Structure 1
Amino acid sequence: MEQTVRTDHARLEAILAFVQSAEKLKDTLRSGITAQGRAESSAEHSWRLCLMAMLFDRELRGYDCLKLLKLCIVHDLGEAISGDVPATLQVEGDGRAEQERADLVILCAPLPPDLREELVALWDEYSAAASPEAVLAKGFDKLETMLQHLVGQNPPDFDYRFNLGYGAKHTARHPLLKRLRRLVDRETQKRVEAR
């Protein structure tokens, strides 16, 4: 028999207010281009990242796959406020992570304290790659971006060589990520040689 937790009205309203605010992620555009030639949103990127993580559940026995999915969902939520920085323009130490975390804290303000703390803690864990699941989430995130570069209707001057170095340290931290990286690099190399 299924049990339902009784939740007070104010908590329900707070959660719905947050969900409505998070909707902004649907309109937060990224530099990635879809196969049909339009800019993808951060929400679409996060959805496909979650799909990818879910599909490797069998290969990730022993990992907390629910936690992995939570990390994937939360990783770009802060972009709903200040937007995305294209992968090609990202520089380590540029303050982007601090801004994204601050934006996430603002976005989470309507939530009840327990949920607000959970989401921010998940983001911190992801950002620091502080758990095996966070290592996987970061690696899958880089791979999803690279896959989008391969499928997207990119401009004629798009430099596919960018993919060959992008996220290398994050995709080298787990055997599954390494194997996937080799497959993506192989496809990227074909694009480079075709130019």
Structure 2
Amino acid sequence: MEVRELLDTLIIAERLKDTTRHCYTTKGRHESVAEHSWMMTVMAFFMKNEFPDADMNKVIQMCIIHDLGECFTGDIPTFMKTKEHEDAEETLLNEWIESLPEVTQVEMRALYKEMEERKSIEAKIYKAIDSLEALIQHNFSDISTWSENEFTLNLTYADDRVNFSKYLSDLRNAIREDTLTKINKQ
């Protein structure tokens, strides 16, 4: 990617630093989408030895790009996102990808297709991390920041996304234990 193309691309990607999510940080500040993506990449890095047959660099790439569509639409919590929201985000993201250099377009489209299909071990790991990171962040935040539905959601969400892996299933169960501990302390 040429220098000017890189800078133009970063102008768009930087929006995720100011795009807040419904989650809060430990200190009570709204989390940004960029922070969510960063924590996902950290999780993937630390999990790499748990998945010796997976290309964890690809998983990290998926974690980095997965929410770039939110540069255009903002974050909509998963429990509020409709098909119309998803379609609008996909359309705007694809329009932006078309403005990128051809080699980058090809690479990103291939990653997004793999992520959407969720057939590869890498795509399954990425999607599990995406879901689990949100639950972990809720457990890190003050319970007063939770919406009513998150008390149940934090106990049930993502179970279907981890069942392919004993490690991720064990992580999901540990997160659930932390959620129960947090709820019971209130």
Structure 1: state its 5+ residue gaps. 1-6
Structure 2 residue aligned with 1:3: none
Structure 1 residue aligned with 2:114: 125
Between Structure 1 and Structure 2, how many residues are aligned?
184
Distance 2:153 2:173 in 1: 15
Q: Give CA-to-partner distance per residue, 1:60-107, whole Å, 9 cap, x none.
A: 11210111111111111111100111134246xx23433332222233
Query: Cα offset for 1:172?
Result: 1.9
Q: Give CA-to-partner distance per residue, 1:131-187, whole Å, 9 cap, x none.
A: 110000000111100000000134266442221111221122322211100100111
Structure 2: state its 5+ residue gaps. none
Structure 1 residue aligned with 2:56: 65
Name the TM-score, length of structure 2 as normaliser.
Answer: 0.90
Higher helix share: 2
Tell me if 1:77 matches 2:78: no
Which of 135, 149, 152 pairs up with 2:141?
152
Mark the structure with the bigger radius of gyration.
1
Tell me if 1:170 matches 2:167: no
Change (3 A) 1:156 1:59: closer
Identity %: 31
SS for the counterpart of 1:155 is helix
Name the TM-score, length of structure 1 as normaliser.
Answer: 0.86
Distance 2:160 2:88 in 1: 22
Q: Which amino acid aligns with 2:130?
A: D
Distance 1:16 1:130 in 2: 34
Which consecutive aligned stretches of 4+ in structure 1 deviate over 4 angstroms post-superposition? none
- Does the CA contact (< 8 Å) of 2:24 and 2:145 recur in 1? no
SS for the counterpart of 1:56 is helix
Q: Which amino acid aligns with 2:108?
A: L
